Structure 1
Amino acid sequence: MSKRIPVIIDTDIGDDIDDAFALCLAMQSPEIEILGVTTVFKNSRARAMIAKRLLELGGHPDIPVAAGASIPLSNPEMFGKPVDFEELPKSYRPEYETGLYSVLTGMELIISILENSSEPVTVVTLGALTNIADVLRYRPDLKKKIRQINVMGGAYYMNWTEYNYACDPEAADMVMCSGLTVKAVGIDVTLHCVPEKKWMLALNSHTHPCIQMLMEMCRMWTKDGNVCLHDPLALWSVFDESVLEFEQQIYRVESRARFTRGICIKLSDHNWQMPGRDSRLYVAKQVDAPAFVARCMDRIVSMGEMK
């Protein structure tokens, strides 16, 4: 087997269940090595406890977890309304508190990992991009230690203000304009990735404690059992792009307008005269959803099986 890809996972785990699915998928993916996990947006401390507990139950207690930025770079509002940044995640439970997450902040953990890595690291962002934007602001010298950034965020082929970008549009735009290679998987693609009922039934009857926690979180998030694999698709794109079609484009994230904060604006067209081939941003245009969902869910369902 080829050398594993070193990754940092930055997540807003604890609300939409797709983050927890992505973390389980990461633990089940031998192609990658998880160097650390950081949490972001609205009570990142509680999110860190959830992530740490899930990793422990999945057999990875040594992976460091750090609580990152709870507040965005500038605007404290979202969709024109104030945000309670101390609000607990929907799937938080006091029993998830282990007290074992890192004393470092999310930004400090990312910086430490990049500084000490012998090779460039892939950063996978599954929530607001505040933590990685902070790293780029305060330690631009570490860009050379980042192989690429794989993002779940934005909507590139539909008129939609996607949640992760809306959390911190300034941070999303900063990452997009960083000059780093960015592989972005938008909600217009991920919405197709819905597991069939048979997969959810298999998880509901699973005996592994990590999967049992995953499904407990799932029941706290959704009453109908419907799940969309937004974040797992972004994680999957790190090591297997065969299920995706990417194209080079130039996009910016709107951050000033009242009603369109967080929306993606395409600049690589005839009006702006900016060719997409000059960009280091690759956006997912299509996905083979049945193939991806089957491969992803098969890995998660097989947790705990003898290899």
Structure 2
Amino acid sequence: MKDPLYNVPQSKKVRVIIDTDAYAEGDDQFAIVHALLTPKFDVVGIVAEQFGTGTFPNSMEKSYEEIKKVLRLMDLEDKIPVFRGEEQALVDEKTAGNSEGARFMVEEALKQDDRPLFILNMGAITNLASAYLMNSEIADKLLAVWVGGGAYPVGHMDFNSGNDLNAVNVVLSSTIELWQIPLSAYTMMEVSFHELFERVKPCGEVGNYLVENLMRVNESECSLNLDFLPFSKNLSKAGKTMLIRSGEGWSLGDNPAVGVLISPQAKDAEERRAQKMNADGSYGEYVSEKRTIKVYHSINSRVILEDMFAKIRYHFGN
């Protein structure tokens, strides 16, 4: 990797922990690379997140291995610490796990360091919830960004919240400063495959892997029969070709976790009272009169994607 093109003022530099279910799909890898190429960030560690025990009983371990692979391709394997997170969702809203990743979050939050700590949660929020249950003193010592949850005001179960509803409610009910990027915002990160082939794939081993891996995931996901979904029942065969995946592009839905620290993204963000999440993913009772979170209802994808493309090209392009 090359030296940064510019110096970020010291007052703007931040510590970052990335929490990622890296093997679940093909977009986490883009967000990991983007974060590691961002001069504002001191990525102090990456924690592997679980993504359910159905298809992959060892999902956390698969995420751990994928993180290490991305770091090897960036020649950063021995420079960024990687930690194993909880192996499965929390059993309830009161019992912490005991993973090295959650313990690392506690340790980093309690460390004497004047720079703010951001934890970017790009998946289930199990590890942060476990860390908070281990030691609630971390609550005022970090800011959590979470990509997950359905659109407000009603909400519905998305992949990330569905992989640990207990953890979602632990964090929502805590006093941790939380910025939530729900499905209505993170699905705005649409890119075409042709664009990725032109702007990312030629950029070294890591660029090639980002695109080829996404093609692998796309082939797998586009072959799924989604007739069991309620909103697919009345669709024609033609209409189903546009259901969730078009076959021509993808939503890099984890990149907003990086993007909201690069660009203010304040145009359609709202400070609102936190609500607990019901079993079906809808938003239910308010946590308290005073507990508020920031919710991003939309995202300016252009500035985030162009920033990522430029950084990948600068560091890994010919």
Instruction: Report the TM-score, using the length of structure 2 for normalisation.
Output: 0.76
Aligned AA (2:270): E
Name 1:91's counterpart in structure 2: none
Which of 9, 21, 24 lines up with 1:2 in the alignment? 9
Indicate if the aligned counterparts of 2:44 and 2:80 stay in contact, CA closer than 8 A.
yes
Name 2:181's counterpart in structure 1: 185
1:175 to partner: Cα distance: 0.8
Name 1:67's counterpart in structure 2: 84
For residues 263 and 166 of structure 1, do their structure 2 counterparts lie closer, same or farther at Cα, with a shift above 3 Å needed?
farther
Deviation track 1:56-97 (CA, whole Å, cap 9, x = no partner) reads 22132210111101211127xxxxxxxxxxxxxxxxxxxxxx
Indicate if the aligned counterparts of 1:248 and 1:280 stay in contact, CA closer than 8 A.
yes
User: How many Å separate the matches in 1 of 2:297 and 2:312?
Assistant: 25
Pairing 1:128-147 to 2, within 5 Å after superposition = 128-146=124-142
Which of 163, 168, 183 lines up with 2:164 in the alignment? 168
Aligned AA (2:149): G
User: How many Å separate the matches in 1 of 2:131 and 2:201?
Assistant: 41
Which of 291, 295, 302 lines up with 2:307 in the alignment? 295
Pairing 1:151-300 to 2, within 5 Å after superposition = 151-157=146-152, 159-203=155-199, 205-223=201-219, 224=247, 226-242=249-265, 244-255=267-278, 257=279, 260=280, 262-265=281-284, 267=286, 278-300=290-312
Pairing 1:23-102 to 2, within 5 Å after superposition = 23-41=32-50, 42=52, 43=58, 44-61=60-77, 62-74=79-91
For residues 291 and 207 of structure 1, do their structure 2 counterparts lie closer, same or farther at Cα, with a shift above 3 Å needed?
closer
1:33 to partner: Cα distance: 1.1
1:242 to partner: Cα distance: 3.5
Name 1:112's counterpart in structure 2: 107
Alignment pair present for 1:127 and 2:123: yes
Mean alpha-carbon deviation: is it higher for 114-123 or for 18-27?
Answer: 114-123
1:305 to partner: Cα distance: 4.6
Deviation track 1:156-188 (CA, whole Å, cap 9, x = no partner) reads 335431111111111111111211211111111
1:243 to partner: Cα distance: 6.5
- Percent same amino acid at aligned positions? 18
Aligned AA (2:216): M
Aligned AA (1:187): L
Aligned AA (2:172): M
For residues 265 and 188 of structure 1, do their structure 2 counterparts lie closer, same or farther at Cα, with a shift above 3 Å needed?
farther
Name 1:95's counterpart in structure 2: none
Instruction: Report the TM-score, using the length of structure 1 for normalisation.
Output: 0.78
For residues 207 and 192 of structure 1, do their structure 2 counterparts lie closer, same or farther at Cα, with a shift above 3 Å needed?
closer
User: How many Å separate the matches in 2 of 1:204 and 1:2?
Assistant: 29
1:114 to partner: Cα distance: 2.5
1:228 to partner: Cα distance: 0.5
Indicate if the aligned counterparts of 1:127 and 1:152 stay in contact, CA closer than 8 A.
yes
What value does the CA root-mean-square deviation take over the aligned residues?
Answer: 2.4
User: How many Å separate the matches in 2 of 1:210 and 1:201?
Assistant: 13
For residues 205 and 156 of structure 1, do their structure 2 counterparts lie closer, same or farther at Cα, with a shift above 3 Å needed?
closer
User: How many Å separate the matches in 1 of 2:49 and 2:88?
Assistant: 8
User: How many Å separate the matches in 1 of 2:129 and 2:248?
Assistant: 34
User: How many Å separate the matches in 1 of 2:140 and 2:303?
Assistant: 34
1:215 to partner: Cα distance: 2.0
Q: Which runs of 5+ in 1 are unaligned?
A: 76-103, 269-273
User: How many Å separate the matches in 1 of 2:17 and 2:150?
Assistant: 23
Q: Which runs of 5+ in 2 are unaligned?
A: 1-7, 53-57, 93-98, 220-246
